[in-house]
Amino acid sequence: MATKEDLIRLERPNSYIGRNLTRSRARRAVAGRGQYTDDVLMPRTAHAAFVRSPYAKARIMRIDTAAAKEQPGVLLVMTGAELAERCTEPWVGTLTCFDGMKSAPQYPMAVDLAVWHGEPVVMVVAETRAEAEDACELVEIEWEPLPPVAEKETALRPGGPVVHPAIADNLAFRKTIDTGKVDEAFANADIVIEETFEFGRHTAVSLEPRALLADYDKGTQRLTIWTSSQCPHMIQAVFARTLGVPEHNVRIVAPDVGGSFGLKIHTFGDEVAATAAAMALGRPVKFIADRLESFVSDIHARENRVKGRIALSKEGVIQAVDIDVLSGAGAYSQYPRTSVFEANQILNITAGPYNHKEYRARATVVYMNKVPTSQYRAVGHPIGNSVGEALVDLAAEAVGQDPVEFRRRNVIPDEAFPTTIAAGIKLQDMSHTACIDELMKRMDYDALRAEQAVLRRQGIHRGIGIAAFIKGTAPGPSGYYGIGGAPIASQDACTIKLEPSGGVLCMVGVTDQGQGVDTVMGQIAANALGVSMESIRVISGDTDAVPYGGGTYASRATAIGGEATYQAALALRAEILVLAGVLLQAEPATLDIVDGIVVDAGTETPRIPLSEIGRIGHFQVAELPNDVKPVLSATRRFRLTDDLYIFTNGIHGAYLEVDPDTGFIKLLKHWVVEDCGRVINPMLADEQVRGGCVQGLGGALYEHCIYDDAAQLQNGTLADYRVPMAFEMPDIEVAHVQNPTTISDLGAKGVGESGTGAAPAVVMNAVNDALRPFKARVTCQPMTPEAVLRALGKV
């Protein structure tokens, strides 16, 4: 535990906390010296490619691999059935914490029934990827196409097609949150507003696709996998179990990761297959998903239809909110994290900033013959926030209030926390009011409204959007992964060591995908220890090197991993001071460490440098009394105890222009004020928010996995699946209200998803603000030109 003095050190003006340090990984990447999985070279590496199902649902009648096996360079052809024999048991993507949830058993590749367009069916391993692809074309498969489940709206219809015979109703999961008097509140309300919202499917499109290089050493029975992953220990556990290799014999290394966004917290059948091939062949096998197969095999997300209602008093006080979510999962619930978190999060967070007492939220998650869905940056939040904030805007309009004023009156005031919101979740350390105040200043809101009015008279239709949010970060073990049974650590850890030179090694379970986790952990450790950043090396992403941890997901790296690092560094500091006390004949409490030197506390008179402590502690231990046994290393773990999540909050503003003739939307400016608690590195935090915003803006305006009636993906190329590019994106102003969480000593809440979670909501609100004179409203995302024109009644 941190002492009062420790906490004071966090606030010191020259502290590493709150300072914009650059990243050493960035310095490497700009020189083209990054090392991603595909850059790892092993002698005699073979390359895997996959034959994937061309049908959304089809029975495999016969597979003939003879011609493929004869192709030049081919080393191995393996069918789904052959792979299944090498695996212990199929995956079942359920968690026990989700009552009544069902999912069908899933093998890494389809065995006799393919259930989505893109499911891997046969693997070819050859000397080169090109040769493997050549041979894939010669694998003959006789298919019996079957009618697929193509739409979530009809998936539950009795007598319709089913995804899996064993799940006759296509129902994955149902859940309801109900405060009990919702119907009464609606019946007694002065005003009730209803709307239905549609959200298209997205996928993560990390620029570096999924990538894996597996090597099995038969002598030592060591399986080493280099893979572009956010969660090395989870991959270790799942691959070990699936392939029947003892977990401690599996080493997972995540080199530089070229973007992940939740995609790379999952396990994928093709990656297991490639690993099985390495074990079968005794040669390293590399699998780099190409962009086309990424679109049909990376997890998808966001496909939801939500009916929402809001009940108001005529004074404009929210009385109740009621939502009904229909969530379109894929063919399996994604193992081991499930495909129902998204719906669950929508229920948890919709209208979460507000003070209403009555809330009912129902979710129905259905299976379809589409790519499995799972966690993608800000899971569920873009949907819940879009729905909640659209309803709030409609409510403000209905009572003739400015949307900001309406929010001011209806948010839970800062001084009311801790409190339990209508969804039944305890929240603390929230700052809605402070964030609104800061946003108004940053936007110069009144001036913007005045400009909007002037331009409107000139036929220029600009919209101003506002969207408040709460964001669940850093999940604890009492919620999902711990209690639900998945092999995913929700605590995290840091081992920190003083080396003989006085240098410090800091090994962390959380991982760095470019957010700057290594730098931030270094800043935390340097502050807590009292050493310079230059004397610390942070090591992450290697299960052989780091203590067991969950990795990076759900904005947890700084919140959980940072606290573990903080506590580990404080523990090492304490040991160093004890040792220094022995050497200096001083009370440890009278000593401090500043810039790598033990000093007298208060006067900062130098006494002994850490290099001396390291030298004596490791080499000259004979100088020490026999009962002094230096370890010079500490490991600390941190987890949430009573809380489901650490929650953050914030508010977005958007300014944009809609062309009512073409339906085109031009983004002009975007603002975010958010409260991620203590900010360790403001520049890195800002860039998390900016990048996250643009990811949300992509979903709001462009991104959409379009399926046809036969459940075939229609736009699985980067030309047709439109991601946001530089020209259309706005400048984004970011500010922080710092209200440290009381859940940890460090006080960091997590920042990685606060942009993505509310950007779609604020843009939808801004578009509808622009369309207000036309009495038109867009309620679907992506908000394509056609959607806008349709709302305007022009097509």
Report 687-716 residues binding other proteins (CB under 8 A). 687, 690-695, 701-702, 706, 714-715
Smallest separation (angstroms) from other proteins to the CB of 327 = 24
| Other CB atoms within 10 A of residue 220 CB | 9
In the three-class reduction of DSSP (H, G, I as helix; E, B as strand; rest coil), residue 696 is classed as: helix
| Candidate ranges 270-278, 543-551, 573-581, 784-792; the one touching other proteins (CB under 8 A) | 784-792
- Contacting residue, 7, 662, 666, 773, with other proteins by CB under 8 A: 662
Q: Is 19 in the site for other proteins (CB under 8 A)?
A: no
Does position 256 interact with other proteins (CB under 8 A)? The reply is yes
Residue 499 in contact with residue 678, Cβ under 8 Å? no
Note whether 731 binds other proteins by CB under 8 A: yes
Q: In the complex, what is the shortest distance from the CB of residue 695 to other proteins, in angstroms, rounded to a whole number?
A: 7
* Minimum distance from residue 134 beta carbon to other proteins (Å): 7
Residue 258 or 482 having the CB closest to other proteins: 258
Contact pick of 258, 262, 562, 630 for other proteins (by CB under 8 A): 258
Q: How far is CA 216 from the centre of its chain?
A: 30
CB of 158 to other proteins, least distance (A): 32
Asked if 370 is part of the footprint of other proteins (rule: CB under 8 A), the reply reads: no
Least CB distance to other proteins at residue 516 (A): 7
**356 burial level (CB within 10 Å; 0-12, 13-18, 19+):** buried
Please give the C-alpha separations between residue 11 and each of 5, 527, 528, 678, 748, in angstroms, as whole numbers. 10, 10, 11, 10, 13
380 and 329 Cβ atoms separated by less than 8 Å: no
CB of 530: closest distance to other proteins in angstroms? 26
Per-residue binder mask for other proteins (CB under 8 A), 488-527, x = binder: -------------------------xxxx-----------
Q: How far is CA 374 from CA 25, 345, 379, in A?
A: 29, 12, 8
Q: From the CB of 337, what's the least distance to other proteins, in Å?
A: 21
Nearest to other proteins of 31, 622 (CB atom): 31
12 CB-contact burial (10 Å; exposed 0-12 / middle 13-18 / buried 19+): exposed
Closest CB 618 distance from other proteins, rounded Å: 34
Pick between residue 655 and residue 702 the one whose CB is nearest to other proteins. 702
Of the candidate spans 525-533, 648-656, 660-668, 766-774, the one that interacts with other proteins by CB under 8 A turns out to be: 660-668
Which parts of 166-205 interact with other proteins (CB under 8 A)? 204-205
Shortest distance (Å) from residue 601 CB to other proteins: 35
Of the listed pieces 35-43, 186-194, 271-279, 532-540, which binds other proteins according to CB under 8 A? 35-43
620 binds other proteins (CB under 8 A): no
Query: Among 696, 703, 664, which Cα is nearest to 762's?
Result: 696
Residue 758 interacts with other proteins (CB under 8 A): yes or no? no
- Binding to other proteins by residue 786, rule CB under 8 A? yes
The residues, ordered by sequence, that sit 6+ positions from 137 with a Cβ below 8 Å of its Cβ are none
The number of residues in the chain equals: 795
Q: State in angstroms the smallest separation of the CB of 596 from other proteins.
A: 25
- Binding mask of the shown chain, residues 107 to 146, with x at each position contacting other proteins by CB under 8 A: ---------------------xxx--xx--x---------
Residue selected from 3, 22, 419, 532 as contacting other proteins according to rule CB under 8 A: 22
> Which residue of 5, 7, 8, 26 would you call a contact of other proteins, by CB under 8 A?
26
Residues with Cβ within 8 Å of residue 130, at least 6 apart in sequence: none
In contact, 285 and 314? CB cutoff 8 Å: no
* Distance spanning both ends of the chain, measured CA to CA: 63
Residues in 265-304 that interact with other proteins by CB under 8 A: 288, 290-293
For the bound state, the minimum distance from the C-beta of residue 65 to other proteins, rounded and expressed in Å, comes to 19
Binding residues with other proteins: total (CB under 8 A)? 83
Instruction: Write out the two tokens for 748.
Output: 């960091």
Q: Give φ, ψ of 398 to 5 degrees.
A: -65, -30
Residue choice 114, 123, 789, 791 for contact with other proteins (CB under 8 A):
789
State both tokens at 786. 């056609």
Interface residue with other proteins among 259, 500, 581, 609 (CB under 8 A) is 259
Judge whether 763 and 783 are in contact, CB under 8 Å: yes
Residue of the chain from 661, 709, 775, 793 that contacts other proteins (CB under 8 A): 661
Return phi, psi of residue 270, to 5°: -65, -30
Tokens of 738: 């710092």
For tokens 């070229």, what's the residue?
Answer: 258
* 42 near other proteins (CB under 8 A): no
Q: Which of 203, 167, 450, 490 is nearest to 333 (CA)?
A: 167
Between 256 and 342, CB nearer to other proteins? 256
Distance of CA 343 to the CA centre of its chain: 15
CB of 261 or CB of 645, closer to other proteins: 261
For other proteins, give the closer residue by CB, 54 or 581.
54
Q: Are β-strands 597-600 and 606-609 bridged in parallel, bridged antiparallel, or unpaired?
A: antiparallel
Angle at 250 between CA 215 and CA 237, to 5 degrees: 125
- Smallest gap from Cβ 722 to other proteins, in A, equals 6
Q: Of residues 9, 23, 102, 736, which one binds other proteins by CB under 8 A?
A: 23
Binder among 13, 32, 165, 793 for other proteins (CB under 8 A): 32
User: Which lies closer to other proteins via its Cβ, residue 315 or residue 661?
Assistant: 661
Between 206 and 739, CB nearer to other proteins: 206
Task: Determine, following the binding rule CB under 8 A, whether residue 43 of this chain makes contact with other proteins.
Answer: no
Alpha-helix residue ranges (DSSP H) falling in 420-536: 432-443, 445-457, 481-484, 517-529
Member of 60, 368, 732, 780 binding other proteins (CB under 8 A):
732
Taking CB under 8 A as the rule, does residue 447 contact other proteins?
Answer: no
| Separation between Cα atoms, residue 744 and residue 434, nearest integer Å | 22
Binding-site member from 154, 419, 501, 717 for other proteins (CB under 8 A): 717
What element of type H or E holds 779?
Answer: none
Among residues 15, 19, 29, 249, the one that binds other proteins under rule CB under 8 A:
29
For residue 543, the Cα-to-chain-centroid distance in whole angstroms is 21
Which residues partner with 306 through β-bridges?
197, 325
β-strand partners of 310: 193, 321
Report the nearest approach of other proteins to the CB of residue 616 (Å).
38
Closest approach of other proteins to the CB of residue 551, in Å: 15
Q: Using alpha carbons, select from 136, 109, 161, 58 the residue that is nearest to residue 712.
A: 58
- Binding residue for other proteins, selected from 4, 14, 31, 457, defined by CB under 8 A: 31
Tokens of 127: 């000397």
> Least distance to other proteins from the beta carbon of 579, Å?
37
User: 3-class DSSP state for residue 535?
Assistant: helix
Which of the residues 50 through 109 are near other proteins (CB under 8 A)? none
The piece of 331-339, 553-561, 627-635, 726-734 that touches other proteins (CB under 8 A) is: 726-734
210 binds other proteins (CB under 8 A): no
DSSP letters, 57-126, are SEEEEEEE-HHHHTSTTEEEEEEHHHHHHTSSS-B----TTSTT-----B-SS-SSEE-STT-EEEEEEE
- Structure token digits, residue 341: 């978190």
β-pairing, 222-227 vs 211-217, is antiparallel
By CB under 8 A, tell whether 750 contacts other proteins. no
Return the half-sphere exposure (C-beta side, CA atoms, 13 A cut-off) of residue 652. Answer: 35
DSSP three-state, residue 479: coil
DSSP 8-state secondary structure symbol assigned to residue 558: I
